[in-house]
Amino acid sequence: MSTIHRILFYTHDSVGVGHVFRARAIITGLRRRRPGIDFLVLSGTSVPHILMREGIEVIKLPGVEKVMTGADQQYRARHVRSLPLASIMRLRRGIIAESYRWFRPDVLMVEHYVGGLLDEMVPVLQSNARGDRGGACVKVALSRGITGAHREVFTVAGSRPAETILKYYDRLYCFDDEATVNQDGRYGGLPAETVAKVACLGRIADMCPDELAERGAVCTRFSLTRKPIILFALSRHGDVAGLCIRFLEAFARLGLDGRHQVVFVIDPYLGREVVETIRRHPLAAGVRFLPFFYPLADIMHASDLVVCRAGYNTVNELLLTGVKAVVIPERHPSGEQESRAAGIPRDNITVMPEEVALRAPPDAALKDLIAREPVSLRFAFDKYAIGRRIIADLEDDLPLRRGSSGQLSLRSPGKAPESARGPGSC
């Protein structure tokens, strides 16, 4: 049997924290099947401790953020504002290239942007394709599913079309159901040779149903009252303060505020001024504000009602827990959250566009949702089954990448051979 010793996992994570939680779910699923694999994660995440506290090594890339201005978007350095973006990206590309040469992975996994942020993974993909490492690395692209109104499954954040980058990959995995993402039979227009590499593995969540904590344990962990919980998880885009205040006013009119403990989870990228605007509102006096690193799935499982966005992880956590929720999609040029919200089962969920929630009191929608009998959705979230499938595929692929002998020279991480350090490998 071919053995995988090292996996290099890249997730740009310049926008939100969902990418790193998805990375943890994938790695946890793989580890259950092969505990001896060493993982090295390259990410610009603001919460590297989410991985590090699980014993997963992380190389933190300088942060880059996406700035939304109406229908336009641009990138800029998240913290090091005195340097231009081009300088930050040169540093990131250098760290990525050196980490790849030093770690010498058996498998390279790239999550979400198949070419990396602003094409920063393309040089590594090209160098491996040219045989600079003897063709020994299996390359895997990971997609969370539909990424926009045009139903793209594999997306880019750079100048190169996705189909020109996907040719470098051996496997293309999508964490959604094929019936959802492949309605045209071509995964959003991919050529036939690329479609042949795609496998849909079903939805993935950071937890499995039997890993969710009981309500009492959640209340004790976060020092919450024993009242029923209403949870706000509104991320950081759009009019977060306006939405929160609008719903707090509705809770007061419906008499829900006194009977419930309201919890607001602060996204790490949410502006401090937005949080302070909410805190200063008279109706927020009894609201508990918690930092995002607490497990949202556990708090959702303990809640009676959730007001949230339509991000991939958030929607899966709603379906995992079966909690009642008002889902307010974030507005992005891609239309991704609106597309995802359109496919959510409506049994326990009301979808409400942001402009509707801000324009009209949500009282009637809340009363209708609260009055519904909850439905057990029985979605099967099993990151361990997904891990078993991926490991089986990769162990089949390794002999092909190693050559007919099936032997791979597994040098200890350190100085790369001269062939890996040519002009094209950086």
Q: Which helix (H) or strand (E) holds 334?
A: none
Q: Which residues of 63-72 are buried (b: 16+ CB within 10 A; e: fewer)?
A: bbbbebeeee
Q: How far apart are CA 111 and CA 27, in angstroms?
A: 12
Query: Which DSSP letter does residue 10 get?
Result: E
Q: Pairing relation of β-strands 261-266 and 229-233? A: parallel
Cβ atoms 278, 245 nearer than 8 A? yes
Which of 38, 37, 46 has its CA nearest to residue 19?
A: 46
pLDDT digits (tens, 9 = 90+) for 88-113: 999 999 999 999 999 999 999 999 99
pLDDT of residue 404: 40
Q: How far apart are CA 404 and CA 286, in angstroms?
A: 67
Sign of the Cα torsion 17, 260, 223, 214 reads negative
Length of the chain: 426
Q: How far apart are CA 334 and CA 312, in angstroms?
A: 14
In order of 297, 347, 352, 372, 377, the CA distances from 366 in angstroms are 22, 14, 11, 10, 20
Query: Which DSSP letter does residue 111 get?
Result: E
Which of 319, 315, 308, 313 has its CA nearest to residue 354?
A: 308
Distant-in-sequence contacts of 77-81, Cβ < 8 A, 24+ apart: 78/14, 78/44, 78/46
Q: Quick check: helix, strand or coil at residue 203?
A: coil
Q: Which helix (H) or strand (E) holds 237?
A: none
Q: Which residues contact 65 (CB under 8 A, 6 or more apart)?
A: 14, 15, 75, 76, 77, 78, 269
Which of 86, 21, 77, 113 has its CA nearest to residue 334?
A: 113
Distant-in-sequence contacts of 125-130, Cβ < 8 A, 24+ apart: 125/165, 125/168, 125/169, 126/168, 126/424, 127/420, 127/422, 127/424, 127/425, 127/426, 128/168, 129/168, 130/424
pLDDT of residue 407: 41
Q: Which residues of the chain have pLDDT under 50?
A: 133-134, 404-426
CB atoms within 10 A of CB 86: 8
CB atoms within 10 A of CB 6: 17
Q: Which domains does the chain have, with CATH numbers?
A: 6-204+381-425 (3.40.50.2000), 209-371 (3.40.50.2000)
pLDDT of residue 135: 53
Phi and psi angles of residue 45, each rounded to the nearest 5 degrees, phi first: -60, 150
Burial class (CB in 10 A: 0-12, 13-18, 19+), 395: middle
293: left (phi over 0), alpha (psi -120 to 50) or beta: alpha
